[in-house]
A and B are shown apart, each in its own frame.
Chain A
Amino acid sequence: MDLHALGACLTTSACVVTQTTSGLIVGMLLFLVAAGVTLIFGVLKIVNFAHGTFYMLGGYVAYTTLGVTDSYMLAVLAGALSMALFGVVFERALISRVYGSNVLMQLLICYAVVLIFDDLVKIVWGPEFHAMGMPQAFQVPPLFIAGGVVPPFYAVLIGIAALIAIVLGLGLSMTRLGKTVRAAAINAQMVSALGVNTTLLFAIVFAVGGGLAGLAGALAAPVRSLSPGMGFSVLIESFIVTVIGGMGSIAGALASALLIGLVRGFGTIGFPQFTDGLIYIVMIAILLLRPQGLFGRRL
């Protein structure tokens, strides 16, 4: 514990600005990954424990696409679209068989998928880690905004994450599809009785959720390492974000991702060896005081 350093940091504006900016960057990336989990849970009441696998595969697909086409844009698209497709297959082939059953059954199936794909990745891409490398366009010096340092690459990432938050939020509240999805979240049977093809609807939700995870994996690939099993820590993080924000709430996911980003940003100064513990304590406190999460409805 280093409360002295924390105090010193909080009284210097440069430190506050820089660590806040880092917190926002960490938080926005977290949101990108967690949005899919919360969307799928909100509509289908399925806790997608295989979400980290989508993230991992998205990263690997992007890595290979970049190697073949040499275009980061195409790589990101390939990562996102392939995982959207994978989401549909995953939902149709496996998850659709356990709707309404015990949460443990869902856990079991997702865990099986995690195990299988961790090994498949190892077979296809090898056990050693890979790094994608920064695309040429972003190999530029960082920007200095109000005393804080922001690399252009992260500025783009934050932009994309913000865009997704807006599109998801508005899409769910304004469009016809969004309204149908929300209705299905409350009473799928009734929606189905009204003539909506809920099978298709659920597949679409999984496509979006999987696509978001794939997008996050592909977007983060230039700065993170790719290795089999890399989805695990991401899964835990997005899980925490979802629980704190409220299962099913996009706004909640955004708020809690930023909250965790800030805890990490300042925790690393005040409690460098207990940052994770700090996050779990926040999670427990939220569950006790407001089990439905910051923005969630009571189940």
Chain B
Amino acid sequence: MKGNRRSGTRETAIAAVALLIVLVVPFVHRSPAFEDFVIRLSSMALFATSLNLLVGNTGMVSFGHGMFYGLGAYAFALMMQMTELSLPVAAMLAVLFTTVAALCVGAICVRLSTDYFAFITLAFQMLIYSVIISWQSLTGGDQGLRGGLPRREIFGFDLASQLHLYQCCAVVAVLGLLALRHISASPFGQTLRMIRDNESRTGFLGVVLWRARLWAFTIAGGFAGLGGVLAALFVSGAYPELADWPNSGQAIFAVMLGGINSFLGPVLGAAILLALNDAVARVTEYQGLVLGIVILIFALGLRRGVLDFLRVAWSKDSQ
């Protein structure tokens, strides 16, 4: 208990330092590309880390996590375009909406065992994607929500300014990650790990498995929605691709590349994936070829995510 609290303080301190560094950078050197990168990373990191709450923590492999990312983006963008709500209120309502959606989908899905759970989440994602595409009058169909988001100022922040957007995204992401870390380290997080390691034994201890899983699924959905809100801010709209299958794939790769057993693994994975994408896009149009080879090297060479690999390598070295 005591150890928990101390590590909690330590993590908050780490988060504060990280945030401080990110916020100071633009005052030392303005680099629009770096700022864009951090904005996209904020969104992707929340998305991937929330997925890892399911995959790494609970052992639930979801193939359809992108649906909540997409729903968050659409809910937020639609509220901004159709109502006069202020930005933070619209963002919070969007996250709430996504959380409720995750609760509903989860209530149907979580009782299924591993493989079937993966397939049914994928099926739900495809259903939601085809609804977004078909409901053209509301969503704009495959062309997405166009016309941009109205840029209302909040507390003197103007999100049309890249710097302000950058600061806002960094703060939201760090707070979001901290909250996820807290959940993962809490007794509830311990229960989830117990379910992952041995579900029948956990059941014998009196834990209602489906309820714990449903909570995890709902929370993960909510944070994915928050990631989606940031994505909508970055592209100034919402597009069906955000809710599509390959986007779930991106999050899965981020998780796998970074490491499922380290909390910061998915964040690092997201950073590698984005940086790789940006770097490769500059030198070749055969991005798939390069990305595919890199994935193979990771999957067959390291056989685990980078951070997991480093931790294993580190502990071997220390011996």
Contact = CB atoms under 8 A, between A and B. Distances in A.
A and B touch in the complex (CB under 8 A): yes
Interface of A: 47, 94, 97-98, 102-105, 107-109, 111-116, 118-120, 122-123, 236, 240, 243, 247, 273-274, 276-277, 280-281, 283-284, 287-288, 291-292, 299
Nearest to B55: A104
Nearest to A101: B303
B82 interface: no
Interface string B279-294: 0000000111101110
Nearest to B255: A104
B220 to A, nearest CB: 15
A280 B127 contact: yes
A115 B126 contact: no
Given A103-B114, A274-B130, A288-B108, A108 B292 contact: no
B260 to A, nearest CB: 8
Given A247-B115, A284-B124, A287-B116, A103 B292 contact: no
B288 A104 contact: no
B77 to A, nearest CB: 22
Interface string B282-319: 00001111011101101110000000000000000000
Contact of B289 (A107, A115, A243, A288): A115
B55 A283 contact: no
Given A108-B299, A280-B130, A287 B119 contact: yes
Contacts, number: 104
Contacts of A243: 119, 123
Nearest to B114: A103
Contacts of A94: 296, 300
Contacts of B295: 108-109, 111-112, 115
Q: How large is the interface on B (under 10, 10 to 19, 20 to 34, 35 or more residues)?
A: 35 or more
B113 interface: yes
Nearest to B59: A102
B252 A107 contact: yes
Interface string B185-227: 0000000000000000000000000000000000000000000
A97 B115 contact: no
Given A123-B286, A280-B126, 15 more contacts: A103-B61, A104-B55, A104-B255, A108-B295, A108-B298, A114-B288, A115-B295, A116-B293, A276-B130, A277-B127, A284-B120, A284-B123, A288-B120, A291-B113, A299-B116
A228 to B, nearest CB: 9
B75 to A, nearest CB: 20
A247 B112 CA distance: 15
B256 A104 contact: yes
Contact of A277 (B112, B131, B296): B131
A114 B55 CA distance: 23
B134 interface: yes
Given A116-B293, A288-B120, A291-B113, A109 B299 contact: yes
By Cβ-Cβ distance, the 3 closest A-B pairs, closest first, are A115-B292, A115-B288, A116-B292
B258 to A, nearest CB: 12
A287 B64 CA distance: 15
Q: In this complex, which of B61, B108, B119, B300 has the most chain A Cβ atoms within 10 angstroms of its Cβ? A: B119
B37 interface: no
A113 B292 contact: yes
Interface string B94-132: 000000000000001000111110111001101100110
A123 B245 CA distance: 26
Given A116-B292, A118-B288, A123-B286, A108 B256 contact: yes
B249 interface: yes
B112 A97 contact: no
A288 B252 CA distance: 24
A97 B302 CA distance: 12
A116 B287 CA distance: 9
B304 to A, nearest CB: 9
Indicate the member of B134, B252, B300 with the most A CB atoms within 10 Å.
B300
13 contacts: A94-B296, A98-B299, A103-B114, A111-B295, A116-B293, A116-B296, A119-B289, A276-B126, A277-B127, A277-B131, A284-B124, A287-B123, A291-B116
A76 to B, nearest CB: 28
